[in-house]
């Protein structure tokens, strides 16, 4: 992939950073009402958003494209902001962040143990699961502050999917043709496994948010096809429709919408 395309991603992330800096934070003083199940669920997702990203940045730097490294740094800044937003939400609800959880520990160790391409595949698992989770949190809660925080995070996650697809498209293209199908089949299995873990671990919260375990898992598994199509290049990178489009009317329009779908497929050159 040409460096100029990642330069466009740098501008895209920088634009979002500047927009975020110019805007106001959610109204933390309004407080939040979090049930025990939803509170525990948010605590676990906050842990996942709170990684330092140093290993990914180092791997991106070793890949030799300074534009991609800069974009990854800005991506990690957004992830850190998600952790901050969730921590403030917990504080507004009278709760604290969690010291740790086994699923986050396992995921972090897996990411550290592999190279850039494999780590991106793992990240895509987390991002796709997160899309469905934050949509459930945004649309299923009756607490305005929780819904606002989830909306902000979801808007970022919807941009992260095509960003990672863009890099993975170039990575998969470098593999022998016979190896591509097994790699992507393995990714589908990882996605299904992660969906099962989240559905089991967050089942009570998901039910309170109006999404049963089965529906959550079906939506996550159903998103694999569009993501794989984007990675191999048969479809342009986009947010899987199964995860984003049903609630589009409830979300303010993105500043750079695609003319047909309403979702941006890639940054402006």
pTM above 0.75, yes or no: yes
Report how far residue 226's alpha carbon sits from residue 234's, in angstroms, rounded to the nearest whole number. 9
pLDDT band at 108 (very low <50, low <70, confident <90, very high): low
pLDDT band at 112 (very low <50, low <70, confident <90, very high): low
Percent of the residues in the chain that have a pLDDT greater than 70, as a whole number: 79
Average pLDDT, whole number, for the chain? Answer: 84
pLDDT, residue 185, reads 93
CB-count exposure of residue 157 (10 Å: 0-12, 13-18, 19+): buried
Helix (H) or strand (E) holding 153: helix 144-173
What are 167-223's pLDDT values in tens digits? 999 888 888 888 988 999 999 999 999 999 999 999 999 999 999 999 999 999 999
pLDDT, residue 204, reads 97
Angle between helices 36-49 and 66-92 (to 10 degrees): 160
pLDDT band at 102 (very low <50, low <70, confident <90, very high): low
The residues spanned by each domain of the chain are 3-24+32-250
Asked if the model's pLDDT at residue 24 lies above 60, the reply is: yes
Helix (H) or strand (E) holding 39: helix 36-49
Top CATH class of 3-24+32-250 equals mainly alpha
Closest CA to 104 of 48, 61, 143: 48
For the ranges 34-43, 113-122, 246-255, which has the lowest average pLDDT?
246-255
pLDDT higher at 116 or 99: 116
C-alpha distances (whole Å) from 123 to each of 7, 153, 247 are 21, 16, 24
Interval 96-107 mean pLDDT: 70
């Amino acid at each position: 992939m040409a460096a100029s395309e990642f330069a466009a991603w740098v501008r895209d992330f920088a634009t979002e950073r500047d927009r975020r800096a110019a805007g106001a934070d959610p109204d933390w003083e309004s407080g939040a009402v979090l049930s025990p199940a939803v509170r525990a669920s948010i605590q676990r997702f906050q842990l996942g958003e709170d990684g330092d990203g140093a290993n990914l940045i180092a791997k991106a730097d070793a890949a030799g494209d300074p534009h991609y490294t800069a974009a990854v740094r800005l991506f990690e800044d957004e992830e850190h902001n998600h952790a901050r937003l969730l921590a403030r939400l917990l504080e507004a609800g009278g709760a604290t962040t969690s010291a740790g959880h086994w699923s986050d520990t396992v995921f972090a160790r897996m990411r550290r143990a592999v190279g850039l391409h494999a780590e991106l595949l793992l990240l895509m698992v987390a991002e796709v699961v997160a899309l469905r989770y934050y949509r459930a949190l945004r649309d299923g809660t009756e607490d305005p502050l929780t819904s606002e925080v989830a909306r902000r995070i979801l808007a970022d996650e919807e941009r992260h999917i095509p960003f990672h697809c863009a890099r993975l498209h170039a990575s998969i293209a470098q593999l022998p043709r016979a190896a591509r199908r097994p790699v992507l089949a393995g990714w589908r299995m990882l996605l299904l496994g992660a969906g099962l873990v989240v559905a089991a671990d967050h089942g009570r919260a998901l039910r309170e948010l109006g999404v049963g375990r089965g529906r959550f898992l079906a939506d996550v598994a159903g998103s694999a096809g569009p993501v794989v199509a984007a990675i191999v290049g048969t479809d342009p990178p986009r947010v899987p429709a199964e995860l984003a489009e049903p609630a589009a009317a409830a979300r303010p329009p993105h500043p750079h919408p695609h003319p047909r779908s309403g979702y941006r497929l890639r940054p402006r050159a």
